[in-house]
Chains A and B, each alone.
Chain A
Amino acid sequence: MKRGIALVGVIALATVGRVLAQGAPPATRSDGAGSVHVWAVQRNIYALFGPGGNSTVSIGDEGVLIVDAMTAQAAPDLIAAVKTISNKPIRWIINTHSHPDHTGGNAAVAKSGVYVATGNTRGGGGASILSFESALMRLNGSAASPDKAPEGGWPTDSFFVKQKDMFFNGEPVLTMHVPNAHTDGDAIVFFRRSDVIAAGDVFTPDRYPVIDAAEGGSINGIIAGLNLLIELAVPAFNEEGGTMIVPGHGRICDESDVGDYRDMVTIVRDRIQDLLGKKMTLEQVRAARPTFDYDGVYASPAYTGDMFVEAVYRSLTAPSTSAQRSPSR
């Protein structure tokens, strides 16, 4: 009997010791649905991370606004993930550009939502979709593009000026055009009270910037877009936090992260510009390896340093077109 009591005492003490040493892990919370993960950014804004890219979601009394609808394949998980953070209907989708990794889910996500009737948007159906005009034209086939989407995924609203303003879920939502950056139809979305910017593919910190020259993209437009993000963002203490930025691909960032990336893109652009000044061919520029010191951070088999070098080279040597102009307000 005494031996039994002693053993119980040993087990009890051992257990107490482990609890004291380690503490209890905190309770886990919902992390999205299927392939789409949710991260609370700040105030009413959430970032959703899917297999093909990121979405930024505003939730509130008026409903749900989603910046970028991911791919068609990811759309069911995106819709399910949104339901884990809001029971309100999806009212708006804003596309940061026309590529299918950001618009492929338009039709399914819009269909799952509910239309907000206003004087100058079309009636009936699901959520409204907003994009810059050139993105609309690619998605609906008015302009030849591989981005052409089924009709349910076409933007219902578009703008062709510098900025489209809305007020949704208690805050200004500024959709700002970034000319000739990733494409010629880029927009960033600034949630002004929540202090979060959805940057689309103007900012992709997990890779070199992709310049879709066929759709009007340019290296100098990318740099201008990154500098616009920096201009809008205000960090909190010690160059950290404050305005948060959800990129088109990659992790959540703040101003210093954009600054670090902007430095890289600018430095690589300057190096290639300098080599062009020495009349080097593309092959000679490639051989000079102007991205060598950054490849370990940003290159991948899908988009190598050489591919980025070629994109920058072609962008810097392309004749400027009338399309590469800033729109008037």
Chain B
Amino acid sequence: MTAKRAWQPIAIAAAWTLATVTPAFAQVDFSGGWGARLHEDNLERGGGPEMNEFEGLPINAADRMRGDSWSASLWTVPEHQCIPHPADYGPNFSQLVMWSDVDPVTKDVIAWHTELSWMNPVRTIWMDGRPHPPAYAPHTWQGFSTGKWEGDMLTVETTHLKPAYIRRNGLARSEKATVREHFIRNGDILTIITIVNDPVYLTEPYIKSRNFQLDPGYHMTPYPCSVDVEIDRPAGEIPHYLPGANPFISEAAAKHKMPLEPARGGAETMYPEYMERMKSMPTATMPTQPATTGR
């Protein structure tokens, strides 16, 4: 055997080893505090959207009806006061802290955790290959998440979410929804891409990205929530608008001097070519109907 022949199997072995082991060593460290960059999708940040402002979302007619029926007074009902944002909404604007659980013997990462600043919801992303729970298991605001590495990108699948919202103005996201996320770190920038699939209320996947800047000195602030009855209403009364009775449907569109149709949402309003269609639409008019409290 020549020297060249002797090294050939070793070279093949080394190449195969590197190719096979790469995923394990490609894991990226997300640990630490991350500051939200807040430069995308203004409607989902800070003060949030106005009522009946549904543009840019792939909602169907049923979700539009949920949004039209919704009254902001619902947040005053005790059972709604301390609800945190669900896993698919929380990263919109909150500061973020991430840490991992490491098996003390094998040093494998068993789970990643995230905590968001608004309401302090803590989430677990299981990395140990466990299956998702059965259909009869409880649902939570953060859902049940499992992760796997795809190169340097952590891909997360989430099920078992509680019924919540796709936008903070009553547009519902059902508990049948599933969420896929991609966590991507580029230096001190973390990008989270969130893809929501909801067979009940969305006609297409809702895809969004959010960026975070590494903030090593960040310290999470406690966010305790206390339920207090501040509006004395008859037992069992739930604030909502009856069909056709919501006086605010055109208000946001009129205020922003845009047509009503895009404010009603739908998949077509997500795409750039829709802007051309908008040019031929009349601007919405401010509602004249006096505001009512619904129910």
Contacts and interface: CB of A to CB of B under 8 A. Distances in A.
Given A49-B136, A224-B236, A296 B225 contact: no
Contact of B139 (A49, A230, A235, A251): A251
Given A37-B134, A240-B140, A24 B129 contact: yes
A270 B136 CA distance: 30
Interface string A284-305: 0000101011111100000000
Contact of B238 (A49, A241, A255, A267): A267
Contact of A252 (B6, B108, B138, B172): B138
A249 to B, nearest CB: 10
A267 B240 contact: yes
Given A16-B21, A270-B240, A296-B174, A6 B62 contact: no
B229 interface: no
Given A14-B17, A39-B136, A297-B163, A2 B62 contact: no
B236 A227 contact: yes
B251 interface: no
B280 to A, nearest CB: 30
Interface in B19-38: 20-25
A13 interface: yes
Nearest to B198: A296
A252 B62 contact: no
Contact of B82 (A2, A26, A238, A292): A238
Contacts of B149: 21
A328 B108 CA distance: 61
A244 interface: yes
A211 to B, nearest CB: 17
A3 B236 contact: no
Given A23-B110, A25-B129, A238-B82, A253 B13 contact: no
B65 A21 contact: no
Given A10-B16, A293-B66, A47 B139 contact: no
Interface in A259-298: 259-260, 262-263, 266-267, 270-271, 274, 288, 290, 292-297
A142 to B, nearest CB: 33
Contact of A297 (B20, B23, B103, B176): B176
A14 B16 contact: yes
B235 A20 contact: no
Interface residues of B, number: 68
B40 interface: no
Q: Which of A22, A47, A54, A244 has the most CB of B within 10 A?
A: A22
Nearest to B242: A274
A6 B11 CA distance: 9
Given A17-B21, A238-B121, A296-B199, A7 B65 contact: no
Looking at chain A, what size class is its interface with the partner chain?
Answer: 35 or more
Contacts of B61: 292
Given A25-B128, A263-B238, A296-B174, A17 B24 contact: yes
A306 interface: no
Nearest to B108: A23
A157 interface: no
A7 B200 contact: no
A256 B238 contact: no
B61 to A, nearest CB: 8
B138 A270 contact: no
B130 A25 contact: yes
B6 A2 contact: yes
Interface string A42-80: 000001010000100000000000000000000000000
A274 B128 CA distance: 53
29 contacts: A2-B9, A7-B9, A10-B13, A13-B21, A14-B20, A17-B24, A17-B25, A20-B21, A20-B106, A20-B108, A23-B106, A23-B127, A26-B128, A241-B140, A244-B138, A251-B137, A257-B139, A257-B162, A259-B80, A260-B162, A260-B163, A270-B238, A292-B62, A293-B62, A293-B66, A293-B172, A295-B62, A296-B62, A297-B163
Interface of A: 2-3, 6-7, 9-10, 13-14, 16-26, 31, 37, 39, 47, 49, 54, 223-224, 227, 230, 235, 238-241, 244, 250-260, 262-263, 266-267, 270-271, 274, 288, 290, 292-297
